[in-house]
Amino acid sequence: MYLETISITNFRLFENLNLILNPGLNILVGQNDSGKTALIDAIRYVLGVRSSERCYISESDFRKKETKFTIQLKFIDVDQHAYRFVEHLTHEIYTNEEGKEKSRPVLYVSLTAEKTGTERRGYPYIKANIRTGKDGSGLMLESDIRDFLAATYLKPLRDASGELSSGRGSRLSQILCSSKEINCKADEILSIVSKANSSLLDEGQPLKKSATDIQNNYLYEIIFNDDRDKLGVFIDIAGIKAENFDAMPEDEKKRHLRSVLERLSLALSEGQMQHGLGYNNLLFIAAELLLLEREVSNEYPLLLIEEPEAHIHPQLQMKLLQFINEKVKSDKKPDGIQCILSTHSPNLSSKASTSNVIVMNSGGAWSLRPGETEATPDDYKHMQKFLDATKANIFFAKSLMLVEGDGENILLPHLARLLGKPLEDYGVSIVKCDNSGSWKRFARLFLRKDNPHNPLPIKVSVLRDLDLWPNCAEDVEGNEYGFKDYKKKNGRKKGNEEYWLRNCDEGIDKRIESLRDDLHRQNVNVQISNDWTLEYCLAKHGLFEECYEALNGSKDDIGSIIGSDDEKATYIQSKVEKTAFPYKLIEILERQKVDYINSKISQEAQDVEARRQSAEQEFSTQLENRLPSYIVDSIKHVTNSTNTVYSEESGDGLPF
C-alpha cells in the first residue's frame, strides 16, 4: 500500500495540483516559497501525524480570496490492509502493464475545508470534514483508521535532543514499547525495578529519612491533626515495590512498564556528553526509522521529512540519503516505507536517483520519473553517474545554461554581468557538459513527454559550436593564418571534410537544425554559434581588438594582422588558449567599462549616480551590439522573467 496521488484545489499557493508520487522515495526540490512545505502540510492535514503536534486549519490556508479548498489522497495496492477499511474502498478500472483493463480497490481520503463567514470565540469558524470516496462524499473515517494512516512527520529545525529526552509519551518510550524483546521480558524488567525501588525506600535509607523529615517537621505542622492518619510523605521512584509486584494485574504491570520507559532518554554517549545538533538529528531520524519499520504491519509507514540536511555535514547527508533509500519501498523491499522529503541540499540530490526528484515551482509540481520526461532509460543511467553536488544544483536553479567548453563556462557569467544581467540575480546555473552529447540527455530531462504546453519551469539555454571551418583556416602555402589540414577520407582513414564550410551542402540553416537535434522546444532553447567557435565568433563580430590584447598582452603590432573579419578571427582561433584567454578578455572588458563610466562622469558631484547608471546602460548596449547574437539570445532566454514555449514546428517562442 502506498500514497499514489495527491490532488489539491485552492490550498495556499496551489490552485489545481495533481501529482503522482513514487511508492518509495520522493524528493521535493525547489526554491523558497515554491510549495514544498505546503505539499507536506496538505498530507499532514488529511492524515494527521503520530507526534503530539496538532494540525490546525487557518484562513491563510485558503488560496487568495477562495472560501473553500480540497485535498484528496489516493492510496493503491491496498489489498493487504483492505480489511481495515472495506466500507471505504472504491473499485476502479485501470490498465495494467500488459495493456489489459482490470479492476482494483483503492482508498480515497478527502479533506474539504470551507469558510463559514461566522466566528466562534472571536476566531473565524472554518468547517472541515474528512471523508472517503472518489468524489469525497463517502463515509467519514473512524478514529482507528485515522490512527493507522497517520504519518510520521519530522519538521524543519526540529529539537532532536528534546524529542529523544524522557517524558510522557516520549518518542523513545514508543520505540521501546514496540520492541518484542522488551515486552517478552516485561516481568523481569519490572521485578528488577521494584526491588531497587524497595531497597532505596527502606527504613534508614537517605530517601526515607528525607521523606520522614518533610512529613513530621513540615507537613504535619501545617495540616489538621485529623488528617495526619490519612496523609503522609512518600517518595515514589517507579510507582512499584517488590512486596506488591506478584499480586499486580497484567494491565497495571503494562502501565508501570510504560511509566518506566517514559523516564528513559536516548543519548549518543554513556557520559551524557553534549553533542552537536547534527548527530542528535541523525540519532532522532534513526530512531524514527526503527519505529516505522517495527510497526509496518500495524501502521501505514509514511515518513514526511522537511530539510533532513539540517545541521548535518555534506558527507553525512549523502550517507543519510543512502540509508533512507535502503529502507523505502521497492521491488526488493515490498514492505518498505514511503518517504517524502523536501530539501535545499544539492548534496542530497546528487545521491538520489533523478527519477525520485519532484521539482516544485509556484504552485506546480513536475516529477522527473521516467515516462513523464523525454529522457531515455540510458539517459537516466548516465545522469546518475554524471551528477555530483556541483551539477545537482540544476534541480534548484530558476534557469540553466548548458555549455560545451571552459571558455563559455568562464566567460558567460562575466558577460551577463557586463550586459546588466548578473546570472546570480536570476537564479541561473551553468553546467559544463562534455562534447559527447550529454547536453542532449539533460535537454530531454527538461522536456515533458505528454504535456508540452505545461513545460518544466526551468528555462534551459544550450550553447553549441557550429564547428564549420572557413576556407581561410586551411594550412596551405600563401595563407599565413591557416592552421588546419584538409584531410579527405581514404579507405579506413577518417577525414575531416564534413567540418569545412565549403562542403556544407545542406546549408547553414539546416546544419543548425540538425545540431539542435529537435530539442529546441518548450523551455529548452538550443543556440548554435554564429560561426565556427566561441572565440572565433567573439573576434569576428566585434571584439577582435580585445581578443588580440588578451592573447598578446597589448595591442602593439595589431596593425600587422590584416585581412577580412574571417581571417582575423582565424588568427585568434589559432592562437587562443582555452583557459587563460577568457580570464584576460574579461579583465579587458571590465577595464573598458570602468574607463567608459569615468569618462561620462565629471568632477562635479551633482547627479553623479544618475550619470553612472546611464553610462553603465550605454556600455551594456554597446557591448551587446558587439557580441555574437547567439550569446546575447542565450543570456536573454535564461534571464527573461516570462515563460516561453518553443513550438516543435517552427521553433518560434509562443506566449505561455
Residue 651: the pLDDT is 42
Backbone angles phi, psi at 19, to 5 degrees: -125, 130
Contacts of 129 (CB under 8 A, 6+ apart): 111, 112, 140
pLDDT at 140: 93
**What per-residue confidence (pLDDT) applies to 646?**
47
Q: Which residues sit opposite 151 in a β-bridge?
A: 49
Distances (CA, A) of 479 to 468, 518, 565: 18, 38, 15
- All CATH 3.40.50.300 domain ranges of the chain, comma separated, are 2-164+277-367
CA neighbor of 293 nearest in space, from 265, 332, 328: 328
Cβ-contact 47, 149 below 8 angstroms: yes
pLDDT at res. 655: 31
pLDDT of 445 over the 80 cut: yes
What is 2-164+277-367's CATH number?
Answer: 3.40.50.300
User: Is a pLDDT exceeding 90 seen at residue 636?
Assistant: yes
In tens, the pLDDT along 575-622 reads 997 678 999 999 999 999 999 999 888 756 678 888 889 999 999 999
Convert the pLDDT of each residue in 328-360 to its tens digit. Answer: 998 888 888 999 999 988 878 777 888 999 999
Judged against a pLDDT cut of 60, whether residue 486 lies above it is answered with: yes
d(CA 82, CA 310): 37
Looking at residue 284, its pLDDT comes to 73
301 in helix, strand or coil?
coil
Between 127-141, 242-256, 257-271, 309-323, the lowest mean confidence (pLDDT) is in: 257-271
Phi, psi values for residue 373, rounded to 5°? -115, 175
The three grid cell numbers given for residue 356, joined into one nine-digit string: 525520485
Give the span between the Cα atoms of 124 and 196, in whole angstroms.
55
Instruction: Identify the CA nearest to 303 among candidates 317, 318, 315, 291.
Output: 291
C-alpha 393/C-alpha 29 separation (Å) is 10
With 80 as the cut, is the pLDDT of residue 421 above it?
yes
Helices 406-418 and 629-639: crossing angle, nearest 10°? 70
3-state secondary structure of 114: strand
Confidence class for position 647, pLDDT limits 50, 70, 90: very low
The amino acid sitting at 555 is K
Residues 164, 280: contact at Cβ < 8 Å? yes
What pLDDT is stored for residue 505 in this prediction?
87
Residue 649 has pLDDT above 50, yes or no: no
What digits encode the pLDDT tens for the residues 547-559?
999 999 999 999 9
- The DSSP-derived string for 120-168 is ETTEEEEEEEEEESTTS-SPBPPHHHHHHHPBEEE-TT--HHHHTS--T
CA separation, residue 181 to residues 176, 185, 238 (Å): 9, 6, 21
Distance (Å, whole) CA 176 – CA 183: 9
Give dist(CA 76, CA 96) in Å, integer: 13
CA dist 41 and 47 (Å) reads 10
pLDDT exceeds 70 at position 123: yes
Rounded (10°) CA dihedral 472, 478, 483, 485: 90
Say whether pLDDT at 478 is over 90: no
Q: What is the CA radius of gyration of the chain?
A: 35
Write down the mean pLDDT value for the chain.
Answer: 85
Share of the chain above pLDDT 70, in %: 87
C-beta atoms surrounding 429 within 10 Å: 22
| Per-residue confidence (pLDDT) for residue 163, from 0 to 100 | 56
Q: What is the pLDDT of residues 7-30, one digit of tens each?
A: 999 999 999 999 999 999 999 998
Please report which residue ranges of 247-313 form alpha helices under DSSP H: 250-262, 277-294
655 by Cβ neighbours in 10 Å (0-12 / 13-18 / 19+) ranks as exposed
Per-residue pLDDT tens over the stretch 53-65: 777 899 999 999 9
Rounded to whole angstroms, the Cα distance separating 497 from 185 reads 83
What does the pLDDT average to over 191-199? 74
Residue by residue, DSSP assigns 59-100 as GGGB-TT-SEEEEEEEEE--GGGGGGSGGGEEEEEEE-TTS-
Q: Which residue has the higher pLDDT, 109 or 240?
A: 109
Q: Looking at mean pLDDT, say which of 316-320, 390-394, 447-451 comes out highest.
A: 447-451
DSSP 470: -
DSSP per-residue codes, 268-337 = SSTT-----HHHHHHHHHHHHHHHHHHTTTTS--EEEEE-TTTT--HHHHHHHHHHHHHHB--SS-TT-B
Backbone phi and psi for residue 231, each to the nearest 5 degrees, phi listed first: -120, 155
Q: Cell numbers at residue 621, please?
A: 548596449
Is 550 or 223 the better-scoring residue by pLDDT? 550
Q: Are strands 152-154 and 302-306 parallel, antiparallel or unpaired?
A: parallel
For residue range 86-103, list pLDDT tens digits in order.
999 999 998 887 888 899
Q: Are 60 and 83 in contact (CB under 8 A)?
A: no
Are the C-beta atoms of residues 108 and 90 closer than 8 Å to each other?
yes
Cell for 290?
Answer: 526503527
Q: Is the dihedral of CA 380, 383, 388, 389 positive or negative?
A: negative
- The pTM (predicted TM-score) of the whole model is 0.81
Comparing CA positions, the residue from 455, 364, 524 lying closest to residue 19 is 364
C-alpha cell belonging to residue 298: 500495524
